[in-house]
Amino acid sequence: MPARTIHSELHDRLEIALVSPRNPLNIGAVARAMANFGFSKLAVVAPYAPHWREARSAIGADELLQNAKVSATLAEAVASCTLVVGTGTLTHRKPEQPVVALPDLGPLVQRELAHGGRVAIVFGPEKHGLTREDLALCHLLVEIPTDRQQPSMNLGQAVAVCLYELASRAFSPAKKTHPLPTTPLTDTSAEHDPAAPSADLELLANVVEEAMVAANYSPASMRDANRHDLRLLLRRLAPTKADTRRILGLFRRILWRLNRPQAGN
């Protein structure tokens, strides 16, 4: 297979997801940056402006903007992705998931794509970035190394910087990379089974939550917090698709048993 075909196919399995972007010009700038580096999969989650597809800043990327996927929620946007990477600064944030330096992101993305996975790089609204709830759907948080005096970046610039790193590292296996943090996502000591897509993890989280409620483990006042922690836990564990299916079957059986009227002995 020609190298160009492989290169294009890998690019098609990486998408940029923008959560509630406010300025159509920023969305256009993102589309232009994606076109610059050969990426075409854009997902826009609950955009504020109704005419964002007409952004004049999308020079040379009109078709990309017209073909962008629109989703009501981030969970819907990343449902098919096996690696979801949130972006942001740590200046005013205490991370709840592994943090990866931007130069280290390329090898992780490369590895996930090489095993047939799909990757989403998620960017939050211009004013405040990704929320804690958004990040609960992310396996990792990547930080762009900016100056502490001015940590925030324009949305289009942030996407361009990230895509430059990915284009130069994720698709260049001969280049030297920095050591990676050891997590289930970076461990290469065992054979890599297909990772569970985000939609499967959400389904498992919902069934586990139902079992927790049925067992009186999760009082109403704690359900939002428990749901948040459960989402984080599943992404930290990074179960394979097969493991997720087995765990789902187990909890469905537990839930069935908890909801089944007990017969008298």
Q: What is the pLDDT of residue 171?
A: 62
Q: What is the 3-state secondary structure (H, E, C) of the chain?
A: CCHHHHHHHHHCCEEEEEECCCCHHHHHHHHHHHHHCCCCEEEEECCCCCCHHHCCCCCCCHHHHHCCEEECCHHHHCCCCCEEEEECCCCCCCCCCCEEEHHHHHHHHHHHHHCCCCEEEEECCCCCCCCHHHHCCCCEEEECCCCCCCCCCCHHHHHHHHHHHHHHHCCCCCCCCCCCCCCCCCCCCCCCCCECCHHHHHHHHHHHHHHHHHCCCCCHHHHHHHHHHHHHHHHHHCCEHHHHHHHHHHHHHHHHHHHCCCCCC
Average model confidence (pLDDT) across the chain: 85
**pTM as predicted:** 0.84
The yes-or-no verdict on residue 80 having pLDDT over 90 is: yes
Which pLDDT tens digit goes with each residue over 42-69?
999 999 888 888 888 888 888 999 999 9
In the chain, where the domains are located: 3-169, 198-259
The 10s digit of each residue's pLDDT in 82-130 is: 999 999 877 777 888 999 999 899 999 989 998 899 999 999 998 888 9
pLDDT band for 262, please (50, 70, 90 cuts).
low
Strand partners, 122: 17, 86
pLDDT of residue 190: 43
Superfamily of domain 3-169: SPOUT methyltransferase, trefoil knot domain (3.40.1280.10)
Instruction: Say whether pLDDT at 178 is over 50.
Output: no
